Amino acid sequence: MTNTPIKEVHAYEGHAIEVRGDDGPEALLVPRLEVVAKDGRHFALPNDLKKGESEDGFTFFEFRFSLDKARAMSDVISSRGFINAEHWVEFQPDTRSMEDKAFDDYEAECNDRREGGAA
pLDDT in tens, 80-90: 999 999 999 99
The pLDDT of 64-88, averaged and rounded, is 96
Which of 60 and 5 is assigned the larger pLDDT?
A: 5
Task: Give 13's pLDDT tier (boundaries 50, 70, 90).
Answer: very high
Q: What is the pTM of this model?
A: 0.75
- Please determine, for residue 115, whether its predicted confidence score (pLDDT) is greater than 90: no
* E strand segments, the chain: 3-21, 24-37, 42-44, 49-53, 59-63, 82-84, 89-91
CA distance 18 to 33: 20
- Please determine, for residue 1, whether its predicted confidence score (pLDDT) is greater than 70: no
Closest by alpha carbon to 71, among 13, 112, 2? 13
Task: Give 67's pLDDT tier (boundaries 50, 70, 90).
Answer: very high
- Please determine, for residue 117, whether its predicted confidence score (pLDDT) is greater than 70: no
